[in-house]
Amino acid sequence: MTIKVPFVDLKLQNLPIQTQLQTAINDVISKGDFILGQALSDFEKAFAAASGVEYGIGVASGTDAISLGLQACNIGVGDEVILPSNTFIATLIGVTDAGAKPVLVDCDDQTALIDLEAAAKAITPKTKAIIPVHLYGQMVSPRQLLDFANTHNIVIFEDAAQAHLAEKEGYKAGSVGLAAAFSFYPSKNLGAFGDGGMVLTQDPQIAAKMRSLRNYGASQKYVHTSKGVNSRLDTLQANILNQKLPLLSGWNSDRFSSAQKYDQQLAPLASVGITPIENQSGSGHIYHLYVIKIDHSCHIKRQELQEKLNLAGIQTGIHYPIPCHLQPGFTDLGYQPGDFPQAEKLSQQILSLPMYPGLTDSQIKEVINAIQTIVGDGKH
Ligand SMILES: *Cc1c(COP(=O)(O)O)cnc(C)c1O
């Protein structure tokens, strides 16, 4: 079967700047500064500035950005960290890697983002931080978060792995909390040619601790003041990201305009129980993913829709099919089916449609027509 609309197409962003990318790679090869080189500090400054934050510290992955970032904020053994069950598993792994105790909470059924009322009920004297995940490219409300953190006297640590340059209420992703984690996994809105991540923070002490933690815990060469790790963003990857960063906001707008077209063309399907996850961020949503819900009132099930779309040459995804609290590797956390009903319901109903810069109007039409045909077929 031929693929008519792929789920993502990275060639569309890489081929137009291929010469530039190759020059950037060659530059690093001729300089030879592969670890902690010039292009890395350039990218750290540029990405932090673009996000409205003072300091950026490049690390080997988004997962490490969460784990090391929490440790740099002095969060670890004996501390509880609140996070949503509806997120990619890396958010949870980051917390356990840091040695802290993860406390999962449910999500809002309209936005799929962390439910702050549920989070309030999960506060204990041991709660040190909350990790809002700006899921699918939409930020958790900064005003509500700051209110929440003030009321409970805890730290905000943002998981912005899906939210590069997303905005809400005048804040950019990564500028709300004490620190924030980003990922440059190839298919993120800003992606490297391999793994990569970054911690952003306004706090010079946290930045200094991060620089030490990612570099064997060294405060200066061969003096190891903490139990660090080896987790640096490669200079090569950073220089690739230096080429892509100036294009990011254009790519984000392109995603947003595709999302608007999806929204418009999907509107008639609301009557049969198919609706997009709500956007409460206007143009500040950067649509890392475009996610729809297939309600239980819909006569077709999510799996059937996905299979038939696949047969029609349209690739889709599910983000995510199993909420964190039900992951088999984390049964030791003691959660049960039924603990987080909204996250569980969403995991059964959501479907991510093709979304990437360069998705064409006719491809969007193709996706919508295919959905309409499939949903229509099911009526007979
Ligand atoms: C991708 C992602 C991460 C982890 O990033 P890696 O670079 O793959 O380690 C963390 N949280 C969320 C929400 C993500 O989507």
Q: Is the pLDDT of residue 280 over 50?
A: yes
Confidence of residue 376 (pLDDT cuts 50, 70, 90): confident
Query: Residues 85-114: what's their mean pLDDT?
Result: 98
On the question of pLDDT at 16 being above 70, the answer is yes
Confidence at residue 377, expressed as pLDDT on a 0 to 100 scale: 55
Does residue 183 have its Cβ closer than 6 Å to ligand 1? yes
**Is the beta carbon of 79 within 6 A of some atom in ligand 1?**
no
Round to whole Å and give the CA distance between 95 and 71: 9
Q: Is the CB of 158 under 6 A from ligand 1?
A: no
Beta bridge pairs of residue 353: 290
Q: What is the mean pLDDT of residues 1-25?
A: 96
Protein residue closest via CA to atom 5 of ligand 1: 62
Determine which residue's CA is closest to atom 10 belonging to ligand 1. 90
Say if pTM beats, i.e. exceeds, 0.95. Answer: yes
Mean pLDDT of 112-128: 98
Summarised one tens digit per residue, pLDDT across range 186-244 is 999 999 999 999 999 999 999 999 999 999 999 888 999 989 999 999 999 999 999 99
pLDDT at 380 over 50: no
Residue 320 near ligand 1, beta carbon < 6 Å: no
| Cis ω before 320 (30° cut-off from 0) | yes
Q: What is the amino acid identity at position 160?
A: A
Nearest to 157 by CA among 101, 201, 194, 195: 201
In the block, residue with structure tokens 């309030």: 120
Mean pLDDT over 351-370 rounds to 98
How many other C-beta atoms can be found within 10 angstroms of the C-beta atom of residue 233? 30
The pLDDT score that the predictor gives to residue 10 is 96
What band does 310 get if pLDDT is binned at 50, 70 and 90?
very high
CA gap 130, 148 in Å, rounded: 9
* Binding site membership of 138 for ligand 1 (Cβ less than 6 Å): no
Q: How far is CA 343 from CA 105, 110, 324, 331, 347, in A?
A: 9, 11, 9, 17, 6
Q: Report the pLDDT value the prediction gives residue 363, as an integer from 0 to 100.
A: 98
Amino acid residing at 305: L
CA distance 105 to 107: 7
